Amino acid sequence: MFETLRRLWRHRWLDERDTRRAIDPELVQRLTRRVRASEQRHTGEIRLCIEASLPNSYLLRSGTLSQITRQRALTMFGKLRVWDTEHNNGVLIYLLLAERAIELIADRGLNRHVTPEQWQATVQRMGAAFAAGDFETGLTQALEEVSAMLVQHFPAAEGERLHNQLPDTPVLR
């Protein structure tokens, strides 16, 4: 009970203004350019979603915080239509500021090639930067690692004209 109340308080304390303070407009522009540059090298799509806190409906769910955060990331994967790519190779990089929790959600096309252990190792490498509040370094590292996986498994063919299937701008909530 006490942990649920602490969680509710922590998440009600933060809102979208906190996300916009942590991820300022200049950083949004830099991240957008990095996503765009990455997507010129492969056929995948990458979305970034940074959320200050979880909605009440998630906070009142049973389960561990990591399970609840994963459920929210999966919901955002669907809402942002990351699953809706031609080669089923979209990836959502989700950051929950209230918990400094990270989730990487990949569509089935990429998941055929990347093991859960590889995804977990990527999350652990990013975690140190996020724990220190260095969101730009953590998100840039995540983009680089996800991009490398997509280039390895879904490289853009030479001369191929890629069309952008999803927006490149991070979603701030």
Residues 87-142: pLDDT tens digits? 999 999 999 999 989 999 999 999 999 999 999 999 988 888 888 889 999 999 99
Q: Is a pLDDT exceeding 80 seen at residue 3?
A: no
CATH number where 162 lies: 3.10.310.50
Q: Please state the φ and ψ torsions of residue 49, each to the nearest 5 degrees.
A: -135, 120
Q: Two tokens at 106?
A: 């990949």
- pTM listed for this prediction: 0.94
Total domain count for the chain? 1
Range of the domain at 116: 2-172
Could you say which DSSP state residue 160 is in?
A: -
Q: Is a pLDDT exceeding 90 seen at residue 59?
A: no
The pLDDT value given to residue 165: 94
